[in-house]
Amino acid sequence: MEAERAGKAPGFSVLFVCMGNICRSPTAEGVFRSLVRERAPGLDVEIDSAGTHDYHVGDPPDRRSIDAAARRGIDLRGLRARVVEEADFERFDLILAMDRLNHATLLDRSPVRYQDRVRLFLEFAAADTLEVPDPYYGGAPGFDEVLDLVEEASQGLLAHLLQIKRPRQA
């Protein structure tokens, strides 16, 4: 995060991706930012989110995502939806899809040399599923379930990054 502000390339970069970038992926971005800030403040990592479709470009996250995250102390209000761009495949070390459909879409769009960067986010969790369900058409419990899964996977992702990257010394 410090690298972004300084205008230099970060030590590592992660892009979270769902379909519209208003529910799952901004939740993952917010949760992971918060976790890194709390548990590994010296870790030099760029964190972003995007959607595979341009339905909501420029919009803030869904109000229900904002509210569910806020109940857990995570602020998503400053985030805005964007669509995955071709340059993202080179820019990000990990591109983490929320479900198999978005994973397949990303693989279809990715240059072959970057396809190994595209993974399912829940590969980093001990969950019984590899997909974060889309809560958009449901009620509040779906947004809480997303947060539960995202929090678990974020802990696994942070552990993975800490194994391969050492935090900068102050």
Question: Is 65 buried (19+), middle (13-18) or exposed (0-12) by CB count in 10 A?
Answer: buried
Which among 18, 62, 64, 99 is annotated as catalytic?
Answer: 18
Q: Average of pLDDT values for 58-75? A: 98
Q: Average of pLDDT values for 51-79? A: 98
Q: How would residue 93 be classed by pLDDT, with cut points 50, 70 and 90?
A: very high
pLDDT at residue 11, as a whole number: 87
**Average pLDDT of the chain, as a whole number:** 92
**pLDDT for residue 168 is more than 70:** no
Which among 23, 24, 33, 117 is annotated as catalytic?
Answer: 24
Q: Determine whether 24 is an active site residue.
A: yes
Superfamily of structural domain 2-164 = Response regulator (3.40.50.2300)
pLDDT at residue 5, as a whole number: 37
What is d(CA 167, CA 170) in angstroms, rounded to the nearest whole number?
A: 9
Q: Determine whether 18 is an active site residue.
A: yes
Give me the residue spans of the domains in the chain: 2-164
Q: Average of pLDDT values for 66-74? A: 98
Q: Considering the chain, what percentage of its residues have pLDDT values greater than 70?
A: 91
Quickly count: other Cβ atoms within 10 Å of residue 12's Cβ: 17
Tally of helices (H runs) and strands (E runs) in the chain: 6, 4
pLDDT at residue 9, as a whole number: 55
Which among 44, 48, 88, 134 is annotated as catalytic?
Answer: 134
Q: Determine whether 62 is an active site residue.
A: no
Structure tokens at 38: 């709390």
**pLDDT for residue 110 is more than 50:** yes
Alpha helices per DSSP H over the chain: 2-6, 24-39, 63-70, 88-91, 100-109, 140-164
pLDDT at residue 10, as a whole number: 62
Angle at 13 between CA 7 and CA 19, to 5 degrees: 115
Residues 3-50: tens digit of each pLDDT: 443 444 568 999 999 999 999 999 999 999 999 999 999 999 999 999
